[in-house]
Amino acid sequence: MINLKNKSILIPGGNGFLGTFLVQYLRKIGCREIFVPRSKDYDLVQMEFVKKVYDDAKPDIVIHLAAKVGGIGANRDNPGKFFYDNLLMGAQLMEIGRQKGIEKFVTIGTICSYPKFVPVPFKEEDIWNGYPDETNAPYGLAKKMLLVQSQSYRQQYGFNSINLILANLYGPGDNFDPITSHVIPALIKKCIDARCKGAKKITVWGRGNSTREFIYIQDAVRGIVLATQQYNKSDPVNLGTGIEISIKDLVDLIVKLTGFKGKVIWDSSKPEGQPRRCVDTKKALKEFGFKANTKFKDGLKEVIRWYREKTQLL
């Protein structure tokens, strides 16, 4: 087991949604040498800045969170950028980490890497059994290439890298930008904004038939830290809850929790994405004792409370 208190930790993407909570958690357990590069100072798509961040941070461990991400609309509008930026950042960070001889490299993968049609719950060994959903395939495949890199580097160089596949994140501090946000913050914003404006309806993409799995941000952080401390194989590991919910049921729940009384209009001309998403969580429990604790309804209430406080809306 790695004692992280004694390690220098580089966290690309540490200023983002996930990264902010991870840094807080690491500091809480006694980690002091944490280097979080800012994108304005280090463009990690460019190799010169990847080398510079290693020279400046001198890390023992890298937890790579930096990514170009977004919901279905953002993926549809930026497939090339999402592929290129995510591939280059991850591949170059891992390569320079190998050259520097760092102790461990942790890659945060995505449930978007799984094939569009695969038995539910998604088992890690099924990740190569088909092509990802077209709405976010470039992003999912770019992240999946880092799994290939991790496995090949361990085989050839003995490089200790791991790959964690996260279910959809949610929690306080999430991205509520209507253009780039994921489904939970987008729905919360629609319902609360509509309620405050006295609007009689909201419009939601698709038909509500697809399912998703969500993991609360603090559970995800705890899983990442446990894996960083204890897991030392290149086989991917799912981090999730093992519970799926349909988008229709999700909308109904958020409508109820926000107090929105209007009508929900389903825009069936818009894409719904992958038909089902739910991961098998047995390996994380077996390998490093991780199990998500937060009940979904409780997590949603916390996000809604946070958004209301931040925006001063009812």
Catalytically active residues, by annotation: 139
Are the beta carbons of 100 and 58 closer than 8 angstroms?
A: no
Distance between alpha carbon 10 and the CA centroid of its chain, in Å?
A: 18
* Distance in angstroms between the alpha carbons of the first and the last residue of the chain: 47
CA angle 72/78/48 to nearest 5° reads 130
Are the beta carbons of 254 and 300 closer than 8 angstroms?
A: yes
Are the beta carbons of 166 and 108 closer than 8 angstroms?
A: yes
Nearest by Cα to 109 from 122, 100, 98: 122
DSSP state, 131?
P
133 CB-contact burial (10 Å; exposed 0-12 / middle 13-18 / buried 19+): buried
- Please name the residues in contact with 122: beta carbons below 8 A apart, sequence gap of 6 or more: 111, 114, 238, 277, 278, 279, 280
113 CB-contact burial (10 Å; exposed 0-12 / middle 13-18 / buried 19+): buried
